[in-house]
A and B are shown apart, each in its own frame.
Chain A
């Protein structure tokens, strides 16, 4: 039993790894194979995997997870500005800082559960967002956003407008214009950037898989199914919850840091609560509590966002040109509500449909379909099975 499970896990991991690394070729037919979008798939995949460790395993719905994305981005960009354009220190420090933030926020928020926990995390996220736009502007550069600049020539210039990059300077690395992030000299834009994110996604997936299967993961699931009973058996659940919160915060920090790696700018809008809502949606769409679900959800939403929001009336008209003209106008009018600028409408509807009809997300949908197919042969043997399948 244990053996088959670990073999299945290995197969799943191999499948994910293979798909991710071959994505530039596999996704080419649907027009998604350009590095910018592929990077987004990986980054939001990591974010959603991390969010799922908290929400999927423990059932605690955080509505402020985007704050760790923000922390990760800001820390990374400051690393680029102060230390070096090499991404290793930036990524490491971002994850560390996000973990510290998560520990602080989690320590307070996890005193309560249910909707109160959601409100507390939302409150912290809104506080961070508001502060980033107001008093923290020396650190966050307010609405303009924090950017990597050229090395400053005189010390009078504020650090926001001119960088120092101590390590790069000490190593004598020459810069021409505004520098690009790199991994020991390899430029982190385009496909190299995607592969860096992809490798991290695979590592993150592997870690999440191990974590889910471990004793710790089982404990988290136990918290979801009945926390009271755990408390009665004498188990103190809070340390487990805080650990889960910190881990998922670190995942989000990594995602934020990768956003800065692929595009070295950080803005507070990444922390807004709608961003937190987005990751909830990704996780729900894919399937809460499953391993693959969140990655699938993240990929689907980012893909749909990119595609659906780029369709305009011209494309629609040519698409529906097989219809009679009057009908074509009508159909185009109706459909154009949902595409282009109306993309969020589609998103909201998708969200509602999933929550109403398929609370387990797409993964549950697949499982149901699979179950249908597997039930079929039973029909002739056991009438009970046929009845169930018919329901």
Chain B
């Protein structure tokens, strides 16, 4: 029972990342009708926003230390971060500690800008091209983005610390009455809460604002909306930016769980595509549901009890489910009728 509960938590955490990426993919597909293979690269760029912010905070100059001396009594040189000079040591320490959550503030404008540039510069020209062309050109873009990141940040994963206050593990078992031995890392709980909040925010945005209403109408019937005198194209471009932001913050917040390297996006992308297809192309709810579902199932499959019955199942479960769903439910779990059935 304890193990089962832990695996659900594990799955929710991972499922959160899948759901966020899949949500962005679906938004782009539902509005622009474009299959975006570069979405994983956006996730990766978000993760590197966190890395970049930490690097910025850590930018320092060398100064002669006032207190420390080497064994001959000469004063030592030490690195002083600029932020320590500007804001004082307390604020500087706080900023360093909270660099990952802070990076959201950096990731949002950066990713929105990248998203809009990408849409206007490249995706715009591919609306009416076949899906195969869209896949290929965005795949090429993903390679380019990855290689640029690799050039500047190197090929090795770069660990990012979570804030001290959420370091260590939470005694989750005690909260739900399962005893003392169910503990779970705090940061992963935070991530789950964060992803739930973002998903809720996106849905609320689409459901309760004027802008969202127009976008939803445009997803249903784009021509009709533009005939009503609404520049639906511009709104869709903004939606692309929104999808990029969602992928970006998902990446930035995931860095303490998994140190980012330049191909982290590709690893997630393949899985996220499977998630989108399982959920149903073009269905936002389906993407979120399938994200969490596959996350939980994947962590169940990696339990030793399951692995001893079906060896290797943890490696293939997601793909296996995708195959089964695609063959039995042509539209995915929650796909709308008539959207990309063939």
Question: B-contacting residues of A (Cβ < 8 Å)?
Answer: 59, 61, 108, 111-116, 118-120, 122-124, 126-127, 130-131, 133-136, 273-274, 277, 280, 284, 337, 341-342, 344-345, 347-352, 355-356, 359
- Whether A348 pairs with B322 at a CB distance below 8 angstroms is no
Closest to A345 in B: B147
Indicate whether A112 sits within 8 Å of B316 (C-beta atoms), given known contacts A126-B270, A345-B143, A351-B136.
Answer: no
B327 within 8 Å of A by Cβ? yes
Give the residue of A59, A122, A136 whose beta carbon is less than 8 angstroms from that of B270.
A122
Top 6 nearest A-B pairs (CB, nearest first) are A348-B143, A135-B312, A351-B140, A130-B315, A345-B147, A123-B319
Distance of B325 from chain A, by nearest CB (Å): 10
Q: Interface with A: B14-22, B125-133, B241-249, which one?
A: B125-133
Best-surrounded residue of B122, B137, B148 (most CB of chain A within 10 A):
B137
Indicate whether A59 sits within 8 Å of B132 (C-beta atoms), given known contacts A119-B322, A351-B140.
Answer: yes
Q: Chain A residues near B319 (CB, 8 Å)?
A: 123-124, 126-127
- Whether A351 pairs with B139 at a CB distance below 8 angstroms is yes
Give the residue of B136, B151, B312 whose beta carbon is less than 8 angstroms from that of A355.
B136
Distance of A266 from chain B, by nearest CB (Å): 19
- Whether B147 pairs with A342 at a CB distance below 8 angstroms is yes
Closest to A111 in B: B327
B141 within 8 Å of A by Cβ? yes
Closest to A118 in B: B135
Please report the C-alpha to C-alpha distance between residue A126 and residue B322 in the assembled complex, in whole angstroms: 12
Indicate whether A134 sits within 8 Å of B139 (C-beta atoms), given known contacts A114-B342, A356-B125.
Answer: no
Give the residue of A123, A347, A359 whose beta carbon is less than 8 angstroms from that of B133.
A359
Q: Chain A residues near B137 (CB, 8 Å)?
A: 351-352, 355-356
Q: Chain B residues near A124 (CB, 8 Å)?
A: 319, 323
Distance of B110 from chain A, by nearest CB (Å): 21
10 contacts between A and B (CB under 8 A): A114-B342, A115-B35, A119-B274, A119-B277, A126-B319, A130-B312, A350-B140, A351-B139, A351-B140, A352-B144
- Whether A115 pairs with B135 at a CB distance below 8 angstroms is yes
- Whether A348 pairs with B132 at a CB distance below 8 angstroms is no
- Whether A116 pairs with B277 at a CB distance below 8 angstroms is yes
Please report the C-alpha to C-alpha distance between residue A59 and residue B129 in the assembled complex, in whole angstroms: 14
Other than the given A116-B326, A348-B144, A352-B137, 13 more pairs (CB < 8 A) read A115-B131, A120-B323, A123-B274, A123-B323, A126-B319, A127-B319, A133-B315, A134-B312, A277-B139, A345-B143, A345-B144, A351-B137, A355-B137
User: Interface residue count for B (Cβ, 8 Å)?
Assistant: 40
- Whether B322 pairs with A351 at a CB distance below 8 angstroms is no
Closest to A119 in B: B277
Distance of B235 from chain A, by nearest CB (Å): 25
- Whether B144 pairs with A349 at a CB distance below 8 angstroms is yes
Question: A-contacting residues of B (Cβ < 8 Å)?
Answer: 35, 122, 125, 129, 131-133, 135-137, 139-144, 146-148, 150-151, 266, 270, 273-274, 277, 281, 311-312, 315-316, 319-320, 322-323, 326-327, 330, 340, 342
Best-surrounded residue of B132, B150, B266, B270 (most CB of chain A within 10 A):
B132
- Whether A131 pairs with B143 at a CB distance below 8 angstroms is no
- Chain B facing A: main interface SS: helix
Q: Chain B residues near A118 (CB, 8 Å)?
A: 132, 135
Closest to A353 in B: B140
Closest to B271 in A: A126
Q: Chain A residues near B148 (CB, 8 Å)?
A: 345
- Whether A348 pairs with B141 at a CB distance below 8 angstroms is yes
Distance of A70 from chain B, by nearest CB (Å): 15
- Whether A355 pairs with B327 at a CB distance below 8 angstroms is no
Distance of A253 from chain B, by nearest CB (Å): 22
Best-surrounded residue of A59, A123, A126 (most CB of chain B within 10 A):
A123
Q: Chain A residues near B141 (CB, 8 Å)?
A: 348, 352
Give the residue of A108, A284, A341, A351 whose beta carbon is less than 8 angstroms from that of B143.
A351
Please report the C-alpha to C-alpha distance between residue A122 and residue B35 in the assembled complex, in whole angstroms: 15
- Whether B151 pairs with A61 at a CB distance below 8 angstroms is no
Please report the C-alpha to C-alpha distance between residue A341 and residue B139 in the assembled complex, in whole angstroms: 19
Q: Chain A residues near B139 (CB, 8 Å)?
A: 277, 351
Q: Chain A residues near B322 (CB, 8 Å)?
A: 119-120, 123
Please report the C-alpha to C-alpha distance between residue A274 and residue B37 in the assembled complex, in whole angstroms: 13
Give the residue of A131, A284, A341 whose beta carbon is less than 8 angstroms from that of B136.
A284
